[in-house]
Amino acid sequence: MQPNPWLYSREFPGPVNAACQESEGIVTNAADRLISRIRARGNAVVVGIDPRPAQLPAEIRDRFAKDRAGIAGAIRAFGSELIDVVAGLVPAVKFQSAFFEEFGPEGVLALHENAAEAKRRGLFVIIDGKRNDIGSTAEAYARGYLGQPPGNESEGPAWEADALTINPYLGSDGIVPFAKVAAERGRGLFVLVRTSNPSAGDFQDLIAEGKPVYRHVADRLVEWAEPLRGESGYSALGAVVGATYPQQLAELRAAMPGVIFLIPGYGAQGGTAADVAAGCNADGLGAVVNCSRGILFAFERPDLRERFGNDWRGAVAAAVGEMVEDLAAHTPMGKLRA
């Protein structure tokens, strides 16, 4: 395979722990950081932070006004409490930016503060924004979310994100700017390949030149990913592949060695641990599994409400524990505990 000449080339140091700071001038491969955190926690769970105001715990909702600024404040407070609960339990969190952006500047500020707090707590931070564009616009997105925007370097990055989700629909013109910044700054990308939503097949399953579109994307992603491979053997350029299509998940796992899968669809969307198993390598690595509603609003479950009462934090922690046990029992991720 020929390396892509448009990618920034750099020899990365090996895996690091959470104490390693990019602000000290140490640039590390994002995949290595994620693998290091997975090993430290003994699981590959990603807690998806998708705050829905109507479902926030009453003790948080009642502390804030019902206007836009108040709701954004409640979202920020909920996110902060969640981070406090899960920081010692899982390697990563994923912020769905839409649930913050809908509340305007105040919501975006809440996202910024939550992401920065998660980073300080040693979590691998994924911003799920599914950004994409071409040329200078893509470069601006990439600098904003992953790099250093023009201005005073002492201010640091605009966003405390380790990785960003992006859409490949515009082809390599929409990947190159993001990959360059990711390589330069030691950040990661997760490219949509086979998504978990019911209508994904409308376009992704269409046959072109003898194979479905999602396979074309996967094949190109393997090429794009190679120059960003770290000491762990995994690339900082990963793939989003849904748990709700386990046959395609298994197919893509075989076709994409060295690519970390971000797997949505577990839990509320119907994906099971047995479905997720197809996305793992034999040693339990190769994938991280996202769960949002099933963890965030676990306190709504009758069994956990009976067990924890108004202690919604305890219910969230219990739901994380259940997911970790489920994945350990039904996927190769059980080997991560060693």
Positions annotated as catalytic residues are 130
- C-alpha angle with apex 317: 314 to 318, nearest 5 degrees? 85
- Return the C-alpha torsion angle 155, 26, 184, 10, nearest 10: 160
Residue type, 320: V
The candidate with the shortest Cα–Cα distance to 221, out of 263, 189, 268, 245, is 189
Q: Sign of dihedral through CA atoms 251, 197, 168, 213?
A: positive
- The interaxial angle of helices 135-146 and 176-185, nearest 10 deg, is 30
Report the alpha-carbon distance of residue 238 to residue 232 in Å, rounded.
Answer: 14
- H or E stretch at 288: strand 287-291
Asked if residue 35 lies in contact with residue 43, where contact means CB atoms within 8 angstroms, the answer is: no
The candidate with the shortest Cα–Cα distance to 115, out of 164, 154, 70, is 164
Tokens of 20: 């390693």
Asked if residue 96 lies in contact with residue 324, where contact means CB atoms within 8 angstroms, the answer is: no
- Distances in Å between the Cα of 115 and the Cα atoms of 91, 108, 256, 335 are 14, 11, 29, 29
- The interaxial angle of helices 68-86 and 104-120, nearest 10 deg, is 10
- H or E stretch at 85: helix 68-86
The candidate with the shortest Cα–Cα distance to 54, out of 34, 75, 38, 84, is 75
